[in-house]
Every structure is written in C-alpha cells, then in structure tokens.
Amino acid sequence: MADYVMLRKGRNVLSTIVHAILNVALAVTSTAVTVISGSWILGVLLVLLSKWRVVAVRPRYWWLNIKANLVDYIVGISMVLLVYIAGTSTLNAWHIVLTIIYAIWLVIIKPRSSEKANELQSVFAVFFGTFATAIMADSLNDPLVSTILCFVIGYGASRHILMQGEDHDYTLSTFIFGLLFAEIAWVLYHWTITYSLNLGSISFIIPQLPIAVSLLFFVFMRGYKSAVRHDGKIRADDILLPIIFSALLMFVMIFFFSTAKFYI
C-alpha cells in the first residue's frame, strides 16, 4: 500500500512539473510568435488553442465554460497585445518582463482557488486587460474598442468574484459592473491621462484607465466582502478607508503626475 501511495504521489509531482513546463512554454511561445510574425493574431490564436478543453464538451456547455474561463482569456490575450504594443522589430526587455508575468500567472496565480487567489486573479484581469485595451483604443482612435472590451473585462472580473459566494443570482450585478467599466472607459478615452515611468533602461507609459478601474475594483471587493460578512449589509467602516485611499491616490496622480490629452 505504501508503494502505491508513493507511486501516486510521484505521478502527481511529475504531472505538476510537466504542467508547469507546458505553461512556461505557452508564455514563451506566445511572445515568440508575436514578435517573429509582427502580428498579434498568431499569439492570440495560440492562447485560444491552449484553452481547447473549454469546447471539449457538449456544445450546450460551451458558453458556460467560456464565462468560467473569461478571466484567463482576458489575461492571456492582454499579454499578447502588450507584447505586440512593446514592438516587434526585435526582442526587447519588455517582451521578457511580460513573458515572465504571463508565466507567473499560468504557473502560480491561475491554478489557485482560495478567496485571496480569486481576488488576485480578478485584479490581474482588470489591470492588464484595461491596460492593453486603453492603448489599443488610443492607437486605433476608436472609443468603441475601449468601451466594449472594458464591459467584457468588468463583467468577467466581477463574475469571477461573485460566483464564489453563496448568492448564485449575480447576473444583474455583473452586467451593471460591466456597464460601469464601459462608462469609465468611454469618459477616460476622451480625457486620456498617461503616466511616464522610467526603470533604468526600461521606460514605459501607463494610461490612467487601468489604475482607475483597478482602484474601483478594489473598493468593490472590500464592499462585497463586507456584505458577505454582515448578511448583505455593507458597513461604512469596512469601505471608508479603501475609498479614501483610492480617492487620494487618484487626486495626487491626476494633479501632480499626469500628462493629459483630449479627444473631442
């Protein structure tokens, strides 16, 4: 019996190692095909193909599986788009940084299922999803791109949090949260604020949209946890500090560290 248990444990360890290697290979390959091809299409297709198990069931379950894996889709596609935005003429430091972040997501963050892990997964999707969306919308000069995609991101991230609770009637809540994200994206597209950061030889510009919606989502998570703990009622002392922190941070960033440009 002991030999059987040891064999089972050995197989589990081996399968875990193989799974980690395949996920790292996905992160590296998605970056490589994007840079080599000079297009984001192949990288996105690779991410979609890696989720083949979503459709390896009866068609009536496809939509349910897509919604359940929406956060993973958002992060994977966003990483490919950010790699493409970082340039495809040659491999650069940003490509390596994004590949490492994607590998960490696939190997460490995504497989976990605790409450804290679900929150981190949702914040990952919100930040990187809206980051890629804002830059793509700006480059395409099309606010609809940002508005529609941010609706999907808000819907997917809020659903990822709400589906973990006991209340299974969260359709309206996720829809409203998606609309809220879409509205913020529409407004901030016409009042684009960017922040320039320099880290040694690496410099980059980050739009305000991912920062704003990530802070909003942070307040939402605190409010949701308060409602869960207190029978559906949100206590002011549970969300007051997150609201003050988020508001002060946005105030400081807007008036002291931002470069704004306007679209009429």
Region 219-235 average pLDDT: 79
**Considering the entire predicted model, what is its pTM?**
0.85
Residues 11-24: tens digit of each pLDDT = 578 888 888 999 99
Residues 149-184: tens digit of each pLDDT = 999 999 999 999 888 766 566 788 889 889 999 998
pLDDT of residue 153: 95
Share of the chain above pLDDT 90, in %: 38
DSSP string covering 71-125: HHHHHHHHHHHHHHHT-SSS--HHHHHHHHHHHHIIIIITT--SHHHHHHHHHHH
pLDDT of residue 4: 32
| In the chain, domain spans | 1-111, 113-264
Left (φ > 0), alpha (ψ -120 to 50) or beta: where does 199 sit? beta
Residue 259 pLDDT grade (very low, low, confident, very high; cuts 50, 70, 90): low
Question: Burial letters for 55-84: b for 16+ Cβ neighbours within 10 Å, e otherwise?
Answer: eeeeeeeeeeeebebbbbbbbbbbbbbbbb
Residue 5 pLDDT grade (very low, low, confident, very high; cuts 50, 70, 90): very low
